[in-house]
Structure 1
């Protein structure tokens, strides 16, 4: 009796939902315009000025423009980044996940590799020059001359581009790529582990049983917070892009030389400066994108008849 081997199910690529891309851009813009940018400014200030603690950093930021000091770099750089990085992640991660599955990886491994690939694409396509210019805005010296007009964002951009070209406005992009790659890989992995723990505790062992909104937010928030383990990469990125006057800093920094400089001058603690606001930022992004994202998807589905797929 011969047994006909079962043919594997045909592997299909997930379709890209354009309403999902627009929704993601809108949510990212709202997230960064609320608490996102203030936490980003505090995190970057602490990483660039490693002698300042949290409260001292807040006072320093306030001295640079009051409440508006917490929104340095928001317009246009944070808005450009927020409105484009989601599309880059979605397109590249979907294609990469499909190709890794074709190569034989399972859902979990292909998902992580898709996230890693999407994170790298984000860095080189959209986030490199945006994070660089945000850091320039946050760390550049304010004019000490009374009545002098502060340098605008576009003037700073033109000055760096005319002096250093594409490399100048993408300074630190390799560190951004490492950060995004490890961010998405670890966020995905940690979130899935927490979800599994929640299922065990609540008795939802059947994967068809959906987690509640609060359970999904909790799992993603913990995953986002735990992904801050790579804070040294973030501090290195800030140091490479910083405009803070520091005569002791090597002129041309690489990821390796920046790591050595930070370690020599600030020790292991210096490599983790700004980790607290970064954890808060990760949690806020998660709560906003998961909690409000689910409600927004339902609303879009009612208005358009097309329910955007979740992609956090």
Structure 2
């Protein structure tokens, strides 16, 4: 038998057997821990600035900072952190991991490439993430950030749970989940484009550094590729501005009474133009960079710690 015939019968060296990755407790703990750290440090202040600018589209960056400081000094930048941002941070990673892993596996089983499979997983995870946990969390965070404070008039603002119950009693589950469709669109486009753009950036970095044969990237290179993906994925900022407007409690008689993604887009465009649809994009890019630094730069340290306390090898990517 010739060498050519033997080579033709042998499976390609690059072919990998598709395996279904198990969902481990250690992976979920890692995701929840990193998300909680990210949101408790710079994450929530950047979220508050982004939301404030999106809700008050005439504000400059400086004006938005002044408005937030006036709501409660340094604590104004942490409105909505407890419990909503903590609930969202500790659950969204787990939901994303479960769904994205399953969706990617079935997409690859159906013949999708690794690139397409990653996007399918990200899009699927983002959508389920929005409807399962993020809808009511983002709504309540936005309500707290945008509700008018009348403390200067001597009236104490309602507590977090009083606000929650008031909305529930008046509007039910729909009121608590207001804007969830916009959240779903944002998460779907976020994760789809972030996975795809980060992969393209990684390919470019591998070409420049001569690591096209699968050599391990450095932490700095991982951060750079993920930051490029996260920053460029802010193209969908209009969806974020629409989400904030739908969830905000500010009074405006010109706003549609029953707000949908479509009529909210029209309202923002007619009142603030194209610039209004991109308000808050700078702090959102900053948020994406900080999330990347937390997940990538701190990932190895966090992995070692989680493996130590659980005795379970962490297999989650970061």
**1:259 counterpart = 2:265:** yes
Q: What count of residue pairs does the alignment treat as equivalent?
A: 311
Q: 1:90-101 maps to which residues of 2 (within 5 A)?
A: 90-101=97-108
Once residues 46 and 64 of structure 2 are traced to their aligned partners in structure 1, the CA distance between those partners, rounded to angstroms, is 11
Deviation track 1:109-148 (CA, whole Å, cap 9, x = no partner) reads 1111011000001100000000000000000011256442
1:194 is matched with which residue: 188, 193, 201? 201
Q: 1:27-176 maps to which residues of 2 (within 5 A)?
A: 27-144=34-151, 146-176=153-183
Once residues 206 and 11 of structure 1 are traced to their aligned partners in structure 2, the CA distance between those partners, rounded to angstroms, is 20
Once residues 57 and 215 of structure 1 are traced to their aligned partners in structure 2, the CA distance between those partners, rounded to angstroms, is 33
1:246 CA displacement: 1.2
Q: Report the counterpart of residue 239 of structure 1 in structure 2.
A: 245
1:102 CA displacement: 1.9
Once residues 235 and 53 of structure 1 are traced to their aligned partners in structure 2, the CA distance between those partners, rounded to angstroms, is 15
Once residues 169 and 253 of structure 1 are traced to their aligned partners in structure 2, the CA distance between those partners, rounded to angstroms, is 14
Q: Is the 8 A contact 1:133 1:157 kept in 2?
A: yes
Q: Secondary structure at the match of 1:161?
A: helix
Once residues 5 and 307 of structure 1 are traced to their aligned partners in structure 2, the CA distance between those partners, rounded to angstroms, is 33
List 4+ stretches of structure 1 deviating above 4 A.
1-10, 302-305
Once residues 300 and 182 of structure 2 are traced to their aligned partners in structure 1, the CA distance between those partners, rounded to angstroms, is 32
2:312 is matched with which residue: 303, 306, 309? 306
Deviation track 1:170-229 (CA, whole Å, cap 9, x = no partner) reads 00000000000011011111111111111111111111x100011101111111111100
1:306 CA displacement: 2.9
Q: Secondary structure at the match of 1:160?
A: helix
Once residues 309 and 53 of structure 2 are traced to their aligned partners in structure 1, the CA distance between those partners, rounded to angstroms, is 43
Q: Is the 8 A contact 2:245 2:264 kept in 1?
A: yes
1:273 CA displacement: 0.2
Q: Is the 8 A contact 1:90 1:311 kept in 2?
A: no
Once residues 303 and 248 of structure 1 are traced to their aligned partners in structure 2, the CA distance between those partners, rounded to angstroms, is 55
Q: Which runs of 5+ in 2 are unaligned?
A: none
Deviation track 1:50-69 (CA, whole Å, cap 9, x = no partner) reads 00010000000000000010
1:12 CA displacement: 2.4
Q: Report the counterpart of residue 185 of structure 1 in structure 2.
A: 192
Q: TM-score, normalised by structure 1?
A: 0.95
Once residues 195 and 36 of structure 2 are traced to their aligned partners in structure 1, the CA distance between those partners, rounded to angstroms, is 22
Q: TM-score, normalised by structure 2?
A: 0.93
Q: Which runs of 5+ in 1 are unaligned?
A: none
